[in-house]
Structure 1
Amino acid sequence: MGVIRKTLGTFLASTIGGVAYLTTSTNLTTPLAADDELWTAKSFTTFNRYQNPTIQDVVWKRLPLSQIRPELRDNEEALATEFCRGAWSGYAYAPQRIIMMLTNRGPKTRDQLFRQQQLAFSKYELGTRFSDHFEVVERTRNSVTVRAGGSPLEPGPRELDGLLVVSAKVDKETNTVDVGIKTTFFNSTEPVRDEKKPAPFVAELLHRYYSRAMVDSGVRRLTR
């Protein structure tokens, strides 16, 4: 029993420490501003055509450009792509990545990315599919928008549909770069009349800490 209590205590201490670290090292903004560019993006207006209620947030981090790898500092597109690589090939996505590879890889998904090395060096071009759960549906100069919530093999409406916008924006005046993951989830199957969100608050809270970890993971790729 002493060993079990000690192990449990260590686990709880590590968990609390990890939560504290992610809370202090990343920023969370929710809800998004009414004039946020996401609301007029082609991907959002296409998939949330009923304008249903959303879960919405952005987890972000500001870094001095001096901390960024020199070859990335003047290229927002390269920054966004490299940040994307770090988010999906790093520690935060590792458990889900392994589960998805074991359960979803097969003949029907042979053209998708599953392995860590594939995700670490993908260009995340439009149409890229990975883990049989994500698909790049829009790209701009400094962002990669990924659809989530179901298999790309079933592209129709979903009760829990979602978009993740992975971005990197350089501010030359302050010599900083803001990197982040902006998320919105919604029901895309039919109009929602009761303003009910697509997932309970507990799931929303867990998602936000997952996003914090993904941002932290992505940042490590930019600074090493």
Structure 2
Amino acid sequence: MNTIAPAPAIKKLPPSRRILGIVLGLTGAGITNLALGYTAFSLYTRSTKFEPYDPTHDDLTTPVFKKHNPSNNPPICIDHAVKTIPLAKLKEKEQAKLTTEFCRGVWSGLGYAYQRRYLEKKYRTLEGRQDMLWERGELASSAYEVGTKITDHFEVVEHTPEKVIVRCGDSPLNTDPRPSDGLFSMEVTTDEKAQTATFHLKSVFVNTTPEGKSAEPLPWRFQFAHRLYTKLWMETATRKLLA
């Protein structure tokens, strides 16, 4: 008996839930499949924790956040996942290289595989998508320079030795304010004294259109699903970095 529930039809979801519709589709397709069990999933992702993160955080006052949310609309979903690993367990230890490898691990890892295939099937053949990253090999080797477009859903808007930030929620070809919008940051901080590296995944989803000025947070079930998805991305990305 097939216990895998079919992914929900994205076209039936409101535009502001495009990201989370994909999240739920992936979840229903097997990420937290009942056959696996929530307990087993929790065990697999037990090293990933969530830290307090809200609209008062300094991140939301930086130039890149202000540029992509000029009206300062309130987030409809915001979270910050972390995982700390001893440097001795990592193949790469230099800050800038580790940040890029972490980013590569997110997009080429198994955690993103289902969504990558879904977006590829739906959008790759459309006009203007030829220069985007689609193949797993490309995602595993890209330098992720500013302007890099990923599977018609993400675009790199900042890349420093400590972080890679992508705009998300809709096609990068849509540069206007969007009902489904936001920034997703992949960051690495190192502690030389403790000899550890801490990996961060930060998500800030916003309706950046005028209507988003009074937007309410998404229902708890969407926030919960996104946290599960984030934990999966963290685990599949960081495990690729282990020596």
Question: Structure 2-normalised TM-score?
Answer: 0.82
Q: Please say if 1:39 is aligned against 2:60.
A: yes
Q: How many residues align?
A: 214
Q: Please say if 1:102 is aligned against 2:121.
A: yes
- Residue number in structure 1 paired with 2:46: 24
User: In the TM superposition, what are the counterparts of 1:31-180 in structure 2 within 5 Å?
Assistant: 31-32=53-54, 34-36=56-58, 38-54=59-75, 55-69=77-91, 72-73=92-93, 75-106=94-125, 107-180=127-200
Any idea what SS the aligned residue of 1:93 has? helix
Pairwise CA distance, 1:218: 1.1
Q: What amino acid is the match of 1:62?
A: T
Pairwise CA distance, 1:22: 4.6
Between 1:131-140 and 1:38-47, the stretch displaced more is 38-47
Mark the CA change 1:121 to 1:193 in structure 2 (over 3 Å): closer, same or farther.
closer
Mark the CA change 1:193 to 1:122 in structure 2 (over 3 Å): closer, same or farther.
closer
Pairwise CA distance, 1:76: 1.2
Q: What amino acid is the match of 2:38?
A: I
Q: Within 2, Cα distance between the matches of 1:179 and 1:213? A: 13
Mark the CA change 1:101 to 1:191 in structure 2 (over 3 Å): closer, same or farther.
closer
- What's the Cα RMSD here? 2.1
Render the CA deviation track for 1:23-45: whole Å, top value 9, x for unaligned: 52211123348343x12222211
Question: Structure 1-normalised TM-score?
Answer: 0.88
Which 4+ runs in 1 deviate beyond 6 A?
A: none
Mark the CA change 1:193 to 1:161 in structure 2 (over 3 Å): closer, same or farther.
closer
Consecutive unaligned residues in structure 2, runs of 5 or more: 5-32
Render the CA deviation track for 1:105-159: whole Å, top value 9, x for unaligned: 1242000000111101111110000100000011222100000000011111111
| Aligned counterpart in structure 2 of residue 212 of structure 1, from 231, 234, 237 | 231
Q: Please say if 1:221 is aligned against 2:240.
A: yes
CA contact (8 A) 2:71 2:213 kept: no
Q: Within 2, Cα distance between the matches of 1:99 and 1:8? A: 20
CA contact (8 A) 2:116 2:134 kept: yes
Q: Within 2, Cα distance between the matches of 1:13 and 1:125? A: 40
Any idea what SS the aligned residue of 1:145 has? strand
Consecutive unaligned residues in structure 1, runs of 5 or more: none
Pairwise CA distance, 1:200: 2.7
- Residue number in structure 2 paired with 1:200: 219
Q: What amino acid is the match of 1:184?
A: V
CA contact (8 A) 2:144 2:156 kept: yes
